[in-house]
Structure 1
Amino acid sequence: MLFKVRRCLISPAIFTSRLLFKEKWRNIGVASKKGDVFHCSTSSADGPLVGVRVLDLSRILAGPYCTMILGDLGADIIKVEKPGKGCDSRSWGPPFCGTESAYFLCVNRNKKSVAVNIKTPEGSSIIKQLSKLSDILIENYLPGQLDKMGLGYDHLRVDSPHLIYCSLTGYGQSGPYVKRSGYDIIAAGLGGLMHITGPPDGEPCKVGVAMTDLATGLYAYGSILAAYIHRQKTGRGQHIQCNLLSTQVASLVNIASNYLNADMDAKRYGTAHESIVPYQAFKTSDGYLIVGAGNRKHFEIIAKLLGISSLSKDPRYLDNQKRVANREPLLKMMSDIFLTKTTKQWMKIFDGSGIPYGPINNMKETFSDPQVIHNGMIQEMQHPTAGTIRVPGPAVKFTGSPTVFPTPPPTLGQHTDCVLHDLLGYSHAQVDELRQRGIVQ
């Protein structure tokens, strides 16, 4: 009965979209050319989001990262790109794999590329048609830009009330910074992350990867799934608004709480922790080892393994609060001891101790680590122009609904013909005419 009630709440537009999806275009795989006709092969994907279509108008990292995760779970991702250029990240290199940048390859698997000039009336019309047959649209244009093309949320929801429309911006849909371009490093600086990243006596540093972008993509991913569940209950889509600055401020967590509740500003600690001691990387004779003591028992074990058991009974270090207050002499003593052995030797000493510990790996060491290999974190695919490529695989495993068998990141406009022909019903002559006019590629 509950299923029947929920089914009655689904709008006609959603039902039509589902019917078209299942009967006409279950899941485009790889476009292959036979003569002058492109055909889209089907996939036997069995992920939890099979049957969900995503229209991806996002570029660079935050949006593509979000849609890649949705694609890993079986969603159909139609990536809309600019003819002749494509996503900006296609040119971000070196390194390149053939003609494709390694940067673009990292976040665009399981997608179909449609190259459309959305600034033209014909291109805008294509997006509107695809919106009617999609469950989700995600974009990261400056606020107001898509409205000028008739592709803003208020425009599309008229004919597509079921559409979940997710906007990713730098600072939000309104406010004093609304017209500023949003980039990870700017939001990381403005949002406080760079102030707390780097050595204590050095300059502020950016994180090695664009964590603000990635966190925003994850916020968007979770919010989209929540909106999808909401639509199952109500039959209505909605506008989701994510932005880099808000993501970064929300991600300050304990550092923000220290300031907001105790008026304590943060400072840089390198690899160390402001509120836990010891909890940092220590230099060994040939590298680094990260060690943490989250409680008194951990510290007692560390002191024993370092051959200084008496420290655990020292009044200066009896609990974490005292260790934080007396961090300098304690960390100096520990640092001197760690320098006496190699990282590998210390790893053997700490093995089985129950203490959180680990090395600082370079990329070769990371991707040859036995646990990384065991977790299946290297995903290999055959790209149509770059040959064999490898990227980090999905981070989450499901027991009842596995992630899909991956398809390689698409070449620019690889699926334009099959999407327009098979999904929207354009004739090949119509597609050719649009291509000659530069509207599609």
Structure 2
Amino acid sequence: MTDTTQSATTQGAWQVHEGALTGLRVLDLTRVLSGPFASMILADLGADVIKLEDDRAGDDTRGWGPPFQGDDAAYFHSVNRGKRSLAVNLKSTAGREVALRLADTADVVLENFRPGTAARLGLGYEQLAERNPGIVYGSVSGFGQTGPLHERAGYDAIAQAMSGMMSVTGETGGGAVRFGVAGADLAAGMWVTIGILSALRARDQTGDGQHVDIALLDAETSWLTYVAQNYFASGATPRRHGSAHPNIVPYQAFRTADGEIMVAVGNDALWQRFAPVVGLAELADDPAYATNAQRVSHRDSLLPLVETALKERTATEWADLLTDAGVPVGPIHTVPDALAQPQLAAREMVVDLPHSTLGSVRTLGTPLKLSGTPATLRHASPVHGEHTASILEALALPPEQIEEILGTGSVVA
């Protein structure tokens, strides 16, 4: 963000910039997390995101509380900033016609229904592409649009379990543990965003849109990265290491005299700095520990020595000593402590955004920092159906037709 944006933030209003995606329209048919996370990223980058919500209750997550901020759950506020809300019954003729008219003017359509649902509503990729050949259509589902499981409903926890990720998450000897956040949903949201941006780039060259097909299972499996490659290379089933790393030692949380710290001795040069500082200078060049490969092989004998040494001082003392020595180290913060860090404040990662009924809502900022076309967080999440009237008017429909549509009850303003 620029200095002008930071100043405006302090005053409770945002300086609006021309974002990298300014001029693009996104029709967002998604709900819950994966799709809304993706469309929020696009909104932050300047796209006009129109969120089509069920006319009765809206996005499911509006009710996923407590806690609530105003009438909507905090969960909803977390991934819906910067969007406009139109409340519509997509199962009605009038509501579906409004959606089609919007799709005709859109650059991107996002949906995360079970495969086949959008097509049954008349809003599938082939149906919209016939009307708008340049449309980039992003689909997120549990198992993708193809394959033997494609018709199954998808949930984050199921993807975490089936991807193998839960099998390597948790303490050694303990049970399977899911991420503290919905990792598969968020991974899918990021992958569909990347796919959409790639498809838009291709459209610049060809004029044609395309279908971006993302599965929660695929997205979460892709995050196995070196864990999967370790298996391909060795044939050994990866196991849980708690906070530790399967390929690097010492690289984990350690108890100190008064709490825990995270230590990341990521190479042999760092080991040469680390060992003397913690009182283990004699181990720095010990043949059993001199290289990372040796330390991994002998982790069971090395780690108790490190654990004993680190219990001699407090977490703050070790953080200062190791930082001075150039060894990566950090406290294990609670969420409140993490969000209060001056570093995050300097990076505008906690912000207050204007909201139409609450005045403002505190939320996370964006990690996207672009020097020429900075992201802009224009406003907090919309009230259900907040922009229905203005969106209908922008379609250039005659006033009597708008009245007729509203009169059917299929679209709620």
Q: Which TM bucket (shorter chain)?
A: over 0.9
Shift of 1:165: 0.5
Provide the TM-score with structure 2 as the length reference: 0.94
Pairing 1:246–2:246 present: no
Matches within 5 A, 1:60-71: 60-71=32-43
Report the more deviating stretch, 175-184 or 67-76: 175-184
Contact 1:99/1:385, CA 8 A, preserved across alignment = no
Contact 2:141/2:215, CA 8 A, preserved across alignment = yes
**Which among 49, 53, 76 is matched to residue 21 of structure 2?**
49
**Which among 132, 153, 174 is matched to residue 181 of structure 1?**
153
Separation (CA, whole Å) in 2 of partners of 1:351 and 1:74 = 39
**Aligned residue number for residue 400 of structure 1:** 372
Shift of 1:338: 1.6
Shift of 1:44: 4.7
**Aligned residue number for residue 409 of structure 2:** 438
**Which among 280, 283, 298 is matched to residue 308 of structure 1?**
280
**Which among 100, 108, 113 is matched to residue 141 of structure 1?**
113
Contact 1:113/1:414, CA 8 A, preserved across alignment = yes
Matches within 5 A, 1:380-419: 380-419=352-391
Shift of 1:406: 2.0
1:337-389 deviations in Å (ceiling 9; x for gaps): 22222211111112232222111100121011121111111111122233331
Pairing 1:82–2:82 present: no
Shift of 1:48: 0.9
Contact 2:143/2:149, CA 8 A, preserved across alignment = yes
Contact 1:68/1:111, CA 8 A, preserved across alignment = yes
**Aligned residue number for residue 207 of structure 2:** 235
Separation (CA, whole Å) in 1 of partners of 2:138 and 2:281 = 55
Secondary structure, in 3 states, of the residue corresponding to 2:288?
helix
**Aligned residue number for residue 354 of structure 1:** 326
Separation (CA, whole Å) in 2 of partners of 1:372 and 1:341 = 28
**Which among 186, 189, 192 is matched to residue 220 of structure 1?**
192
Secondary structure, in 3 states, of the residue corresponding to 2:308?
helix
Q: CA RMSD in A?
A: 1.4
Letter in 1 for 2:410: I
1:4-55 deviations in Å (ceiling 9; x for gaps): xxxxxxxxxxxxxxxxxxxxxxxxxxxxxxxxxxxxxxx9541111001100
Pairing 1:426–2:397 present: yes
Moved over 4 A (4+): none
**Aligned residue number for residue 158 of structure 1:** 130
Unaligned runs of 5+ in 1: 1-42
Unaligned runs of 5+ in 2: 1-14
Change (3 A) 1:44 1:334: closer
Equivalent pairs: percent with the same residue? 39
Shift of 1:430: 3.5
Separation (CA, whole Å) in 2 of partners of 1:137 and 1:286 = 52
Report the more deviating stretch, 70-79 or 363-372: 363-372
**Aligned residue number for residue 296 of structure 2:** 324
Letter in 2 for 1:403: A
Contact 1:100/1:386, CA 8 A, preserved across alignment = no
**Aligned residue number for residue 112 of structure 1:** 84
Provide the TM-score with structure 1 as the length reference: 0.88
Separation (CA, whole Å) in 1 of partners of 2:324 and 2:61 = 44
Letter in 2 for 1:435: L
**Which among 257, 264, 276 is matched to residue 285 of structure 1?**
257
Secondary structure, in 3 states, of the residue corresponding to 1:316?
coil
Letter in 2 for 1:250: S
Contact 1:45/1:405, CA 8 A, preserved across alignment = no
Separation (CA, whole Å) in 2 of partners of 1:405 and 1:272 = 36
Shift of 1:428: 4.5
**Aligned residue number for residue 342 of structure 2:** 370
Separation (CA, whole Å) in 2 of partners of 1:273 and 1:331 = 12
